[in-house]
Chain A
Amino acid sequence: MNKLKTPSDLEDIIQAISKKSNKQCIVLAIGTCGIARGADKVANALKKELKQQDLESKVDLKITGCHGFCEIEPYLNILPEEIFYIKVQPDDVKEIISKTVVGKKTIERLLYIDPHTKKKIIKEKDIPFYKKQTRNILAYNALIDPQNIEDYFGINGYSSLSKVLTLMTPEEVIEEVKQSGLRGRGGAGFPTGFKWNFCRKAKGNKKYIVCNADEGDPGAYMDRGLLEGNPHSIIEGMIIGAYAIGANEGFIYIRDEYPIAVSTIENAIKQARQYGLLGKNILGFNFDFDITIVRGAGAFVCGEETALISSIEGKKGEPRQRPPFPAQKGLWRKPTNINNVETWANIPIIISKGAMWYAKIGTEKSKGTKIFSLVGKINNTGLVEVPMGLTLKDLVYEIGGGIPKGKSFKAVQTGGPSGGCIPEYLLDTPIDYEKLKEAGSIMGSGGMVIMDENTCMVDVARYFLEFLQDESCGKCLSCREGTKRMTEIVTNITKGHGKKEDLELLEELATVVKDTSMCGLGQTAANPVLSTLRYFREEYEDHILNGKCPAGVCSALVQYLIISEKCVGCELCKKACAQQAISGEKKKPHVIDQNKCIKCGICLETCKVNAIEKR
């Protein structure tokens, strides 16, 4: 690898790599999600089989990051024919290589079947899940090997940086980002161009830029998808940002629970340095910049910008009062600009395609596309990228494929623990920073948890409160004690010990926690409670006044009963019950001893005649 000393060096290498070859290539996605489904085993099987059939020199194996459709992982794409196989197992590999790679025939059982048309789809890009998205950023995940910087050159990588250094002044870069309307993708939606400008205007010779990769929201893994799939887009964005702001040092604060993402970005930085894209005199210009990686240590609160700064400084991850703001006094009291991973990843495309192009996508106040992680009770689980303004209904049904097992939609939780639940009658809400706020939730970093009729909203509130209680830094009284007491009250409600006065107390406490906490964690800690109370108050009341959990989730309020008329006395449930709570003779109706029953539900699953009911 030779250092690229001028923009034309970069041009040359891009040209050389872009020459498309017609060599056969198997593209296999191995992100953390893929590994969870065994994609690494498929990779090993592929390597072995290719060697065995003596095809190593004829067929390439390209390992990419997650393409987005995690529900059907492991999946692979065979190029140049573009044959896409889903849910591939190591045992399928031999047939794939013999029949498809060599024999050029498709294996029908491995193709994706459209649930509406029931037709089999051969090409990845024709799958409705992908087709209906606007994958401006995520599409590249399917094309490049994140461990190989040459692949990034192959998609014109770093040419935005070259354009910036050659043709634009820092002020012009900031103006371009301002015009694009890009807003922070970490959740608050702060106009990025203005944010960069603040840091640029701040007094001081030493400035820092930081990438916040501490993605902590349960269920959100968009940043992981980008870090593992296209790390160079983030690096390129950061170099451009550093040039615009006037910084020479950057940090990527990444949560330690993402080991693959950490090693991928570390490797990417190393390769960028080898090519001279990080370090001194980048592309021959009088501009130095390098990036250091700082790993988190398991604290959700360190995603908050002032706590993140404290953590990088080696101190306790405790938020600090603002003012002063990080743009003026941040890391080591120097002007610092912090942006989310996805925000940085949007920069190269804004520079290459222009602010006007970017501003055409989205709504009046929320421009561009956003990546969401669609998880929970949804058919098409995965990472999706959609333009701002798409309705939640389209996201859930058109792209998400609706709710599995024919159950009905109940709510979508957006924004993680700081967000709220949006009920069915508000599904026409467009995805937009302001509109989501009006509905009582927030955009957040992009986690979208879908809930169905068997989700208890009180239990959901309890889950998030427990999470926040655990993650609170504990400095201020309101947040530390407030989340603790709110958790206590809601847990009592789920156990059937709720009192009528509890709801009033909960609302009063929630308001105080929201008003008086010092940092955003505390200020938004009450959101899960307030939002579920707003839209699902009857569920709370059902728990408290009637001792019932309508969704059938809260174990203390649920009873398992054997319907004696239906019971055939097969003794299956009796044998399955670990608590020995079921009694009865052969061929005679059985009975569950409610005192011994722990509501695990195994008996219901075991019964073959539907004689057990959950009430």
Chain B
Amino acid sequence: MQTTLKISMLLMALVVTGAALSSADEGRLKIATTSSLYDTGLLETIVDKFTEENGATVQIPSHGSTGIAIAAGQKGDVDLLIVHDKAREVKFIQDGDGLERRCFAYNYFYIVGPADDPAEIKGLNASEAFQSIMENGLNQPDQVKFITRGDQSGTHSKEQSLWKAAGYNYSEVNISGPWYVDAGSPMGATLIMANEKSAYTLTDMSTFMAYKGNLTLVPLIEGGDELLNVYSAIAINPEKHPGVNCRLANDFIDYLVSAECQEIIGTYGQEQYGKPLFFKGEDSCDVMGCSAEECVVPTQAGCAEA
């Protein structure tokens, strides 16, 4: 008898603690995102403003890379996805995991490298630059190296499409020699490695700006349509994942595209870095290459559960 009593008391204690730790989910929004939005502090700034006005609790449990963010979305562990990899976003929605893709901000990728630019890419466009890095890297791997994220992140996806645009088959580039270094690391760690090894790499503009103070690398190519980097938000589909907080996800998306939030995005980093880290998506639907539906304000997606 006594043992049963003890065990039931223990169980009760566990239940009470558990309940206290996990407050009601009604007003809680969980976002999975990519490192560039999180590490630069932009997303938290937006979240703070949103919670101030809305009273909701917003958490960002996943902020590593697009890969793990999408995995969290596929399992219904989060309510909202904010990433930058169009092809995988479209597939995510086609698979029924997400509702609508909403473009809300953009900037550009940079090709960065050592200031003496041994592969002489300055002034080229992105695909020409990749050709030159590869040719020089194959000939003199001691002088010319390229570091890849190698982690299926949004940046790594962009890199793969750039190799394709440059006329190469990525799976061949990947194993073509010691000049191509697969770091399997997040953006910050990859930039530090490129810096240590005096190598080239592809980086999103915002992470580079945030790390610039500690790097001797310089941006060698910093624009052009090929290097466009579009951020979008997708609410998780409650029909496929019952229990996700779709309403609050849509509220957050509506806030992202609101004039107030767009102003925050378009000026974020101005003071600290001398220029903003992101461009607002407002009125830039064409520039971002998004369809009219992907720029509609406010969101049309319904939240019907199955």
A binds B: no
